[in-house]
Amino acid sequence: DAGITQSPRHKVTETGTPVTLRCHQTENHRYMYWYRQDPGHGLRLIHYSYGVKDTDKGEVSDGYSVSRSKTEDFLLTLESATSSQTSVYFCAISEGETGGITDTQYFGPGTRLTVL
Amino acid sequence: GQNIDQPTEMTATEGAIVQINCTYQTSGFNGLFWYQQHAGEAPTFLSYNVLDGLEEKGRFSSFLSRSKGYSYLLLKELQMKDSASYLCAPKAAGNKLTFGGGTRVLVKP
């Protein structure tokens, strides 16, 4: 299994507070992704990174920002948490974009976030 | 745009075969992944198809028809541990995956 950890694994916070989730990998993979998973919506891409300091928006990026200052770490920040951001957040990594099997995304264990 | 359709739920008996269909409309399509996700856990990689045809991997096989925008995942000799959700995920340029809502498979003894 790919070496991916997420922290914290569970968090409860209040509306209006900033929250930062961390994804750490030991695989030296170039691509990193943040998804959220909600009942009835499946996995949806929030932001992704294709290298250090190179990031781009996914389909549900409003209210989220990301940073990647090192290959191994990808941070997701909820600038001012809202109840609609209560979700399970998954980080994923992939080696590259070749059109082959190295494009496979491997997922971290997830962070369960509750915004009250 | 992206549009993915797969059944919400399927039930099968231990030892049987189940086929999970997925249809998609994906701009810039260049491959399709299947993932397995047990309740409360992360998705895990099952298979990847980029060319038309069948890819076999033990008890699991995956088929792709690019011209029809169609894929299926075939699970053979079902075991109780195969009870999980199965996610169809077409890939577009930029290595972006779009996930379907998943098919929950319930294996009964």
CB A38 within 8 A of CB A87: yes
Quick: pLDDT tens for B19-65: 999 999 988 888 999 999 999 999 999 999 999 999 998 999 999 99
Q: How far apart are CA A26 and CA A91, in angstroms?
A: 13
Q: What is the pLDDT of residue A98?
A: 76
Q: How far apart are CA B61 and CA B73, in angstroms?
A: 6
CB B18 within 8 A of CB B83: no
Show Cβ contacts of residue A40 under 8 Å, excluding neighbours closer than 6 positions.
B101
**pLDDT greater than 60 at residue B1:** no
CB B33 within 8 A of CB B47: yes
Nearest to A43 among B41, B94, B99 (CB): B99
Quick: pLDDT tens for A57-101: 999 999 999 999 999 999 999 999 999 999 999 999 999 777 778
CA A24 to chain centroid, in Å, comes to 10
With an 8 Å Cβ cutoff, the interface of chain B facing chain A consists of 30-31, 33, 41-45, 48, 50, 87, 89, 91, 94-102
**Are the Cβ atoms of B41 and A43 closer than 8 angstroms?**
no
Nearest to B97 among A40, A50, A105 (CB): A105
CA distance B65 to chain A (A): 17
Interval B87-99 mean pLDDT: 89
**Mutation for testing the A interface, residue in B8, B47, B95, B96 having most A CBs under 10 Å:** B95
Q: What is the pLDDT of residue A96?
A: 78
Q: What is the pLDDT of residue B56?
A: 93
CB B95 within 8 A of CB A31: yes
How would you classify the pairing of strands B2-5 and B9-13? Answer: unpaired
Interval A24-50 mean pLDDT: 94
**pLDDT greater than 90 at residue B68:** yes
Q: How far apart are CA A24 and CA A9, in angstroms?
A: 13
Q: What is the pLDDT of residue A39?
A: 86
Q: What is the pLDDT of residue A2?
A: 61
Contacts of residue A94 in chain B, CB cutoff 8 Å? 95
Q: Is the peptide bond before B7 cis (omega within 30 degrees of 0)?
A: no
Interval A110-114 mean pLDDT: 97
Q: How far apart are CA A49 and CA A89, in angstroms?
A: 16
**Are the Cβ atoms of A45 and B96 closer than 8 angstroms?**
yes
Quick: pLDDT tens for A12-35: 999 999 999 999 999 999 999 999
Q: What is the pLDDT of residue B2?
A: 66
Tokens of B37: 């996700």
Interval A43-57 mean pLDDT: 95
Radius of gyration of chain A (CA): 13
Q: What is the pLDDT of residue A1?
A: 54
Residue B32 Cα distances to A38, B69, B91, angstroms: 22, 10, 6
